[in-house]
Every structure is written in structure tokens, then in C-alpha cells.
Amino acid sequence: MINFDNTEIAFKIKSKSALQKANFLFGMMNNQSLVKIGTSMAQMALNLHLPVKTLIKKTIFEQFCGGESLEESKVIVDELKKYQVQSILDYAIEAKSGEAEFDNTLKELMHVVDYAASANVPFVSVKVTGLARFELLEKLQAKQPLTTDEQEEFRRVKNRMLTLCQSAFDKNIAVLVDAEETWIQDPVDALVNAMMLQFNKTKAVVYNTAQLYRHDRLEFLKKCIALSKENNFILGMKLVRGAYMEKERKRAKEMGYPSPIQPNKEATDKDFDLAVAACLDAIQHVAFFCASHNELSHQKAVEIMLQKNIQHHHLNIYFSQLYGMSDHITFNMAQGGYNACKYLPFGPVGDVMPYLIRRAQENTAIAGQMSRELKLIKKEIERRK
């Protein structure tokens, strides 16, 4: 089994000063009140064009992002490779609103795919809200009739996705499509399924994302697996617990509909592990990412792989964590011979603030996770003395 307590392996990539900085930052993020005030003030300062960009970049941005540009991120990509850890490049732009912005995002994503192919980076990540108007996706989910202009707008959205996936297919790169809010997820799922039907005939080029803190996603995954078998394509799926919990619960309460979120963490953990097991049971038809910061989920996955005699480096199985978090999982999995990856976002500081805010809020919401992170960092700092 994997020893996740081995901090020498976990933090081998970090210098003493980098460890000290991480120790300070995670300590700050453990304070919910501080996170709430700090993220609000940071976003406000950026909106008002106050000189806080350097401070943000040297703290939370540096911890969780590869850089403001692809070129800046290359240093991190190359460093991770030294430890057999692959990168998932994420141009972390989302919630754009204009056609020119969507076209520019596509242009940047095509550049990322080109770079990934040249640098032997196997994965890129995309959010559909970086290519499509949020309100259009809402209208599609609500099954409201589209105007002629909106029909043409959605055609352009589909063409952007088609262009991106075709380029990735041609260059042997996989595209991981992130999850969105529940009230726009259905059209995203439909769009991703259409791409998988076209490009995943012999290998997984396009991956969807299932947030298992939703109580309906395990059943959704099972239906997707059945669909892949019926239509003879490889299902690509990234399994995560989720990142919109507070937002989802608040909206459900305000609008008076049942919350889509699991009743408790135990239910989420159960469905996540069942989802991993379902993917492993259908591994000839499914390529998936166990994208988790939960050690127990990884141990359970490893146990099933051993029971089924599935090789560590099976091309359909990847273990992934966010850059800047849970290095004790990523690097120890890589050391154990498993396919380990870091999700590596990059982009201008102002544009990736929604991502950074979610990371800070997510960390304070996970009971015990940050204390575990801090404990291991402190253990390694002590070991190096």
C-alpha cells in the first residue's frame, strides 16, 4: 500500500523557503473569517485597480497556480516531470460574456494544446463557461425556446468545442471538461457526450467531470458507462467531490427547491468510492481520473486494482490533485508507480480569482483537511532541521 506519511517524498520538490511559505499560507486559510474577509477584499481591490496584484501573485496565486502565462507555467511543468508527475494544463478563464472573449479563449486554448503536444504534456482542461455565455446555458437547461440569434450563438459554442477537440485529437492530447453549477450542467453534459461520441472511439480524448457531492451523479455515471458500451466509445470521466457546495445550497434555499447536494460528507465519500469502483469494474470501456484529496479513496482504489490485477500504469487510470495541495498523495502515488498528475491552472491574476476564491473556500469547508496538510508540512520542516 501507499505510505502517505512519507513527507520526504511528498515535499522533495519544495525548498525550505517554499515549505515555510506554504506553512504560513495554509495556516491563514484555516481561519474561515479571515478567508471570507480576505477573498472579498482581494476581489474588490482588483476591481478597483488597486496595487494588490503583486501581493496576491506572491501568496495564494503562487501556491495554487503555475503562472500568469503558459511560458511562466513551463518551469513548474518541467519540475513536476522530474518526479514522474504529469500536468493537466488549465487556462483558468471562465464566466466570460462576449463573443470576442470566447473566441480569444479558444485561441488561447488552441495555443495550450499546441504547447502540450510539443512538451509531451498529455492533458489540458477547459470550462465551457470560458467558451459560452452563462445565460445561454441556463436557458438551454430550462428548455426555453431559443431565438434565431441564440440558436446561431449556440452553434458557435459547439463549433468552438469541436475545433478544440479536433485539434486535441489530432495532436494526441486529452481534453478534460470541468463541471459547472447544477443549473447549467445538463447542456454541458450533452455537449461533452457529443464530443465523446465523435472523438473517443478508440481512446479517451474528451473527459467529462462528475461531482460526487451531488446525490444524482453516481447514477449519472452508471448511465454514462452504459451509454459508452451501447455506442462503442471510451467514456472519459474525471471524478471529484465538488467545488460549488455553499453556492449550490444557498441557491436551492433561496429559490425553494431541494438541494442537489448530498446530506453529509459520509454520503459523498460513499458515492465517490462507489464511482471509482464502477469505473474500475468497466475499465475496458472507461478512462478516468480519481481526482481527490482524500487518502482513503486512493487506498481503496489501489486495493481494487490489486484485487483485479490491474497494472499500476494502466493507461485508463490517473490519480490527480490540485497544484499546491496534497503533495503527500501526488508524489507518493507517483513514487509507487501510479499515473499521478497535478491540475495546474494558469492565467492573469484577475481572471483566475474565481478559481482562487473557490480553493480558499473549499479548504476551509473540508473538516480536518487543512490540519492534515499543515501537520505534514510541519513534520517535513522538522525533519529537515
| 168 in Cβ contact with 204 (< 8 Å) | no
**Location of C-alpha cell 449556440:** 154
**Location of C-alpha cell 500568469:** 68
Per-residue pLDDT, averaged over 354-379, amounts to 71
| pLDDT > 80? residue 94 | no
Per-residue pLDDT, averaged over 233-245, amounts to 93
Average pLDDT over all residues of the chain: 91
Amino acid identity for residue 197 in this structure: L
C-alpha to C-alpha distance for 291 and 260, rounded to whole angstroms: 21
| 345 in Cβ contact with 351 (< 8 Å) | no
Instruction: Collect all residues with Cβ–Cβ distance below 8 Å to 100 and sequence separation of at least 6.
Output: none
Q: Which three cell numbers stand for residue 24?
A: 504560513
Residue 24's pLDDT band, with cuts at 50, 70 and 90, is: confident
Q: Write the DSSP assignment of 95-119 as a string of letters.
A: ---SHHHHHHHHHHHHHHHHHHHHH
Give the domains, in start order, of the chain with CATH numbers: 64-369 (3.20.20.220)
Residue 370, pLDDT score: 53
C-alpha to C-alpha distance for 218 and 275, rounded to whole angstroms: 6
| pLDDT > 60? residue 95 | no
Residue 364, pLDDT score: 64
Q: Which three cell numbers stand for residue 80?
A: 513536476
Per-residue pLDDT, averaged over 25-43, amounts to 70
- pLDDT higher for 242 or 267? 267
Neighbours of 71 (CB within 10 A): 10
Instruction: Collect all residues with Cβ–Cβ distance below 8 Å to 139 and sequence separation of at least 6.
Output: 146, 150
Per-residue pLDDT, averaged over 33-56, amounts to 70
C-alpha to C-alpha distance for 297 and 265, rounded to whole angstroms: 13
User: 256 has which bridge partners?
Assistant: none
Residue 342's pLDDT band, with cuts at 50, 70 and 90, is: very high
Residue 54's pLDDT band, with cuts at 50, 70 and 90, is: confident
Per-residue pLDDT reduced to its tens digit, 319-339 = 999 999 999 999 999 999 999
